[in-house]
Structure 1
Amino acid sequence: MAVSCCHMVAVALIITTYCCCWAYKVEKFSFLMPNVKPYRPELYLCTPVKVDFTKSYYIIGFEPNATMETAHHMLLFGCTKPGSRNAVWNCGEMSQRDDNSEMASPCAAGSQVIYAWARDAPKLELPEGVGFKVGGKSRIQYLVLQVHYATIKPFQGGKTDDSGIFLHYTERPLEKEAGVILLGAGGSIPPMSVEKMETSCVINEKKVIHPFAYRTHTHNLGKVVSGYHIRTDSNGVDQWTLLGKRDPLKPQMFYPVETQEPIVHGDKLAARCTMQSTRSRTTYVGPTNEDEMCNFYLMYWVEQDTPLKKTYCFTDGPPFYYWTSELNNIPNEEASTL
Structure 2
Amino acid sequence: MMAPTHMLFLRVVFLFLLFFDLTCCEVKKFPLLMPNVYPDRDELYLCTPARVVDDKSFYIVGFEPNATMNVAHHMLLFGCTTPGTTDQYWDCGEMAVSDQASNLRRASPCETGNHVIYAWARDAKTLELPEDVGFQVGKGTEIQYIVLQIHYSKKFPERKTDNSGLFLMYTEEPQSKLAGVLLLGVGGFIPPRSLTYMETACQIVEDKTIYPFAYRTHTHSLGRVVSGYTIKRDSKGRDHWSLIGKRDPLTPQMFYPVFDKSPVSYGGRLAARCTMDSRKRDRVTQVGPTNNDEMCNLYIMYYVQNTTPLDMKYCITEGPPYYHWTNEGNDLNNVPDFEASSLD
TM-score by length of 1: 0.93
Cα distance, 1:236 vs structure 2: 1.3
Matches within 5 A, 1:43-122: 43-97=44-98, 98-100=100-102, 101-122=104-125
Inter-partner Cα distance in structure 2 for 1:223 and 1:300: 25
Cα distance, 1:157 vs structure 2: 3.4
Partner of 2:182: 181
Cα distance, 1:53 vs structure 2: 1.3
Assess if the C-alpha contact under 8 Å between 1:229 and 1:263 holds in 2.
yes
2:308 is the counterpart of 1:306: yes
Inter-partner Cα distance in structure 2 for 1:174 and 1:94: 36
Inter-partner Cα distance in structure 2 for 1:193 and 1:102: 40
Cα distance, 1:186 vs structure 2: 0.4
Structure 1's unaligned 5+ residue stretches are: 1-5, 18-22
Assess if the C-alpha contact under 8 Å between 2:187 and 2:317 holds in 1.
yes
2:221 is the counterpart of 1:220: yes
Partner of 1:20: none
User: Mean Cα displacement is larger for which, 232-241 or 194-203?
Assistant: 232-241
Partner of 1:145: 148
Inter-partner Cα distance in structure 1 for 2:142 and 2:282: 45
Matches within 5 A, 1:143-292: 143-152=146-155, 155-277=156-278, 278-292=280-294
Structure 2's unaligned 5+ residue stretches are: 18-23
Cα distance, 1:190 vs structure 2: 0.4
Assess if the C-alpha contact under 8 Å between 1:13 and 1:30 holds in 2.
no
**What amino acid is the match of 1:111?**
N
Inter-partner Cα distance in structure 1 for 2:273 and 2:54: 39
2:331 is the counterpart of 1:329: no
**What amino acid is the match of 1:211?**
P
Q: In 2 relative to 1, CA 178–7 (structure 1 residues): closer, same or farther, beyond 3 Å?
A: farther
Inter-partner Cα distance in structure 2 for 1:31 and 1:118: 16
Assess if the C-alpha contact under 8 Å between 2:186 and 2:297 holds in 1.
yes
Q: Percent identity?
A: 60
TM-score by length of 2: 0.92
Inter-partner Cα distance in structure 2 for 1:197 and 1:103: 30
Inter-partner Cα distance in structure 2 for 1:332 and 1:103: 42
Inter-partner Cα distance in structure 2 for 1:265 and 1:334: 26
Inter-partner Cα distance in structure 2 for 1:102 and 1:157: 21
Cα distance, 1:109 vs structure 2: 1.1
Inter-partner Cα distance in structure 2 for 1:173 and 1:292: 39
RMSD: 1.6
**What amino acid is the match of 2:242?**
T
Cα distance, 1:184 vs structure 2: 0.4
**What amino acid is the match of 1:94?**
M
Inter-partner Cα distance in structure 2 for 1:197 and 1:36: 35
2:135 is the counterpart of 1:132: yes
Cα distance, 1:49 vs structure 2: 1.2
Which segments of structure 1 move beyond 6 Å, counting only runs of 4 or more? Answer: none
Cα distance, 1:7 vs structure 2: 6.0
Inter-partner Cα distance in structure 1 for 2:77 and 2:110: 11
The one-character-per-residue Cα deviations of 1:66-98 (angstroms, maximum 9, x if unpaired) are: 000100000000111111121111111210145
Cα distance, 1:13 vs structure 2: 4.6
Partner of 1:3: none
**What amino acid is the match of 1:295?**
N
Cα distance, 1:134 vs structure 2: 0.2
The one-character-per-residue Cα deviations of 1:22-76 (angstroms, maximum 9, x if unpaired) are: x931110000001100000110000111111101000000000000010000000
